[in-house]
Chain A
Amino acid sequence: MNKSQMQTPMRGVRGQGAAHSGTSMFWHQRITSVAGIPLTIALVVIVIALLGRSHAAVVQILGSPIVAIIMLLFMINMTYHMWIGMQEIIVDYVHSNKFKFTSLLANTFFCFAVAFASCFAILKLSFGV
């Protein structure tokens, strides 16, 4: 080992921990949680503003640029936040390797599907057709 190196050899062998990505997921969870605060407030305001309105009015408001952009940001931010959070829950409680692998896979599929379907719906509302 190079004397000037702060890393122990064990650290090099282990890469960046069990996830092989160091603390990046921890940090991304913080970023998405901070972003989630204004986005959640915005979602509550948008939902209240649309309560009881006709379908035509809802389509028009949801499809307007500002509302559509906020909803896109909300869905992308939250599905990523959800994905990290559920992964954390799975690795904490699921000990069987087979079931852990399938649940991690299901987590990814679910979050991607929700994100894609919602973003598609918002874009369709915005661009018409």
Chain B
Amino acid sequence: MTELEADTATRMRPRPLSPHLQVYKMTLSFVMSGFHRVTGFVLYFGIVLVAWWLIAAASGPNAYANFEWFMGSWIGRLVLFGYTWGLLHHTLGGVRHLIWDTIHGFEPAEREFLALATIVGSISLTLIVWVVGYLAMGGPR
């Protein structure tokens, strides 16, 4: 081994790592933190639906009919339902982070309450939005 290789081998030695996910107790607040990033990641791609909607409307009746056909299919409805929940969950999760940014809500009970409010709120709001949506369309079709 040359001097250079020895030096490289020393430098490439695995460095000590700080404790990561596995050392922490699983709490709802912990899970919601992960959900916030995951929903943000999925919404990143989900915005293509909104862009497709706008471009289809601008392109003409045929392009819009294709978009409506996809959204009317069961897979389209499922994707849109997921997008609705992701959007509302990320929005409520964001509000929770904004509350934390004001240095409020850090007590254990408050943290868990905010986490619970995020998940219960996002699921309830999603269901309300879909019920209102179906009512606006005059029932499921």
Contacts and interface: CB of A to CB of B under 8 A. Distances in A.
Interface residues of B, number: 33
Contacts of A91: none
Contact of B136 (A34, A43, A48): A48
A97 B129 CA distance: 43
Given A36-B94, A49-B136, A52-B136, A122 B54 contact: yes
B123 to A, nearest CB: 15
Contacts of A79: 47
Interface in B56-71: 57-61, 64-65
A interface, size bucket: 35 or more
A88 B65 CA distance: 37
A8 B6 CA distance: 35
B57 A62 contact: yes
Nearest to B125: A44
A119 to B, nearest CB: 9
A44 B136 contact: no
B51 interface: yes
Contact of A55 (B47, B61, B88, B98): B61
Interface in A1-52: 30, 33-34, 36-37, 40, 43-44, 47-49, 51-52
Residue in B44, B95, B97, B101 whose Cβ sees the most chain A Cβ within 10 Å = B44
Interface in B85-110: 87-88, 91, 94-95, 97-98, 101
Interface of A: 30, 33-34, 36-37, 40, 43-44, 47-49, 51-52, 55-56, 58-59, 62, 71, 74-75, 78-79, 82, 85-86, 89, 114, 117-118, 120-122, 124-125
10 residue pairs, one from A and one from B, having the closest CB atoms: A121-B58, A121-B54, A52-B137, A55-B64, A124-B58, A55-B61, A121-B55, A118-B51, A33-B94, A51-B137
Interface of B: 37, 40-41, 43-44, 47-48, 50-51, 54-55, 57-61, 64-65, 84, 87-88, 91, 94-95, 97-98, 101, 129, 132-133, 136-138
